[in-house]
Structure 1
Amino acid sequence: MPGIPDFVMDGPWWWLFLALVLIVFVRTQATYWLARWARAGADAVADRAEKQDSKRARIARRFSGPGMTKAQAFTERWGWIAIPLSFLTIGIQSLVNGGAGYARMHWGRYTLAMIPGCLLWAGAYELVGFSAWRAFTTSPWVLAGSVVLVGAVVAVLVVRRRRRQAADEAQPATASAPVVEA
């Protein structure tokens, strides 16, 4: 796998698991702290912008009002459920972790909620991702079958889209011309 040292790949399975846990832990903590830093900057801008009416000041005020206070309370109460579950999604994980930082979720609670998520992510990545990587790199038949499968899915989607476009064009217009009585 690109980016993972050979001694990890050739070692026992738990080396890769620990490496993946460490990678996701560092990345997620960085997301949390970056969002928390952005919140501190937004608050500083909002404090200075009380007298200003710039676009930056309006955005800062929007992210520092009662709505953000509610978001912070929600995150403190329900973040311990949302954070670990976000690790099982694609595209939501960074939003949830960044949102926890931006809403200033207590760091200790955040980290305790994040650790099970890191373990879930590393386990899923190792079981699915590493197994697929090994299958693709050791068997040309698996790679060829995957290419054929992806090609078939793309072909089906293209045919469906063209049929839908043809049906839309063949359908008569629903707007009728006004009737003129003589």
Structure 2
Amino acid sequence: MLERLAGLPFGGLVAALFAIVVCRAQATYWLARGARRGAASTRWGRWVDGPGVARASRVLARWGPPAVTLSFLTVGLQTVMNAAAGASRMRWPVYLVAMLPGCAAWALIYATVGFAVLWAVVGSVAGSPVGVVVLVLLGGVAAVAVAVLAVRRRRAREG
């Protein structure tokens, strides 16, 4: 898929990324909205009731729709902010007006800086077995760190 995206002209790349992020944001909004309506016992429903979405809900309550727009400029906040908007039952037209400029900004950022960084990394390790090993090791360390943090959070909530 990355090769297909990389082969697009700049305008096509921005349009494709915009479509992808709109679909993802809408899916998150509607799944969280549905989780509030009756799927609370599901894994998704428990995530919507979790601390991340609770923090995003407080930000959303304080700043309103612009918080949704600005969340697209961050890493890690946009999903919980879209979920918070759905879980709080933000009116869809208001959410849509807040979401669309954020999606446009996200698409432009990833079409320029995001892909440039990705291709720089791929290019730097393409001919280097050591580079590939380093990337695999870094990925493994990141996965272990995420797992350890998840276990610590779960223990903190339970105990």
Q: TM-score band (shorter)?
A: 0.5 to 0.7
C-alpha contact 2:28 2:79 (8 A) present in aligned 1: yes
Corresponding position: 1:24 with 2:21:
yes
> Given the alignment, which residue of 92, 96, 99 partners 1:107?
92
Q: Which has the higher helix share?
A: 2
Q: How many residues align?
A: 124
User: d(CA) in 1 for partners of 2:126 and 2:114?
Assistant: 14
User: d(CA) in 2 for partners of 1:30 and 1:121?
Assistant: 17
- Classify the secondary structure of the residue corresponding to 1:19: helix
- How far is the alpha carbon of 1:91 from its aligned partner? 1.3
> Given the alignment, which residue of 84, 97, 116 partners 2:69?
84
Query: What amino acid is aligned across from residue 95 of structure 1 in structure 2?
Result: V
- How far is the alpha carbon of 1:125 from its aligned partner? 1.1
**Residue 80 of structure 2 aligns with which residue?**
95
Query: What amino acid is aligned across from residue 9 of structure 2 in structure 1?
Result: P
- Structure of higher CA gyration radius: 1
- Classify the secondary structure of the residue corresponding to 1:84: helix
**Residue 48 of structure 1 aligns with which residue?**
none
What RMSD, in angstroms, separates the aligned Cα atoms of the two structures? 3.6
- How far is the alpha carbon of 1:135 from its aligned partner? 2.8
Query: What amino acid is aligned across from residue 27 of structure 2 in structure 1?
Result: A
Specify whether residues 38 and 140 from structure 1 end up closer, same or farther in structure 2 by C-alpha distance, changes over 3 A only. closer
Specify whether residues 77 and 10 from structure 1 end up closer, same or farther in structure 2 by C-alpha distance, changes over 3 A only. same
User: d(CA) in 1 for partners of 2:127 and 2:93?
Assistant: 44
User: d(CA) in 2 for partners of 1:109 and 1:84?
Assistant: 11
- Classify the secondary structure of the residue corresponding to 1:105: coil
Specify whether residues 16 and 102 from structure 1 end up closer, same or farther in structure 2 by C-alpha distance, changes over 3 A only. same
For structure 2, which runs of at least 5 residues remain unmatched after alignment?
Answer: 139-159
C-alpha contact 2:22 2:103 (8 A) present in aligned 1: yes
C-alpha contact 1:80 1:109 (8 A) present in aligned 2: yes
**Residue 36 of structure 1 aligns with which residue?**
33
For structure 1, which runs of at least 5 residues remain unmatched after alignment?
Answer: 46-54, 155-182
> Given the alignment, which residue of 1, 10, 18 partners 1:13?
10
User: d(CA) in 2 for partners of 1:119 and 1:107?
Assistant: 18
- Classify the secondary structure of the residue corresponding to 1:112: helix
**Residue 154 of structure 2 aligns with which residue?**
none
Identity of aligned residues (%): 41
Query: What amino acid is aligned across from residue 26 of structure 2 in structure 1?
Result: Q
Equivalent residues in 2 for 1:85-164, closer than 5 Å: 85-137=70-122, 139-140=123-124
- How far is the alpha carbon of 1:3 from its aligned partner? 4.7
C-alpha contact 2:68 2:99 (8 A) present in aligned 1: yes
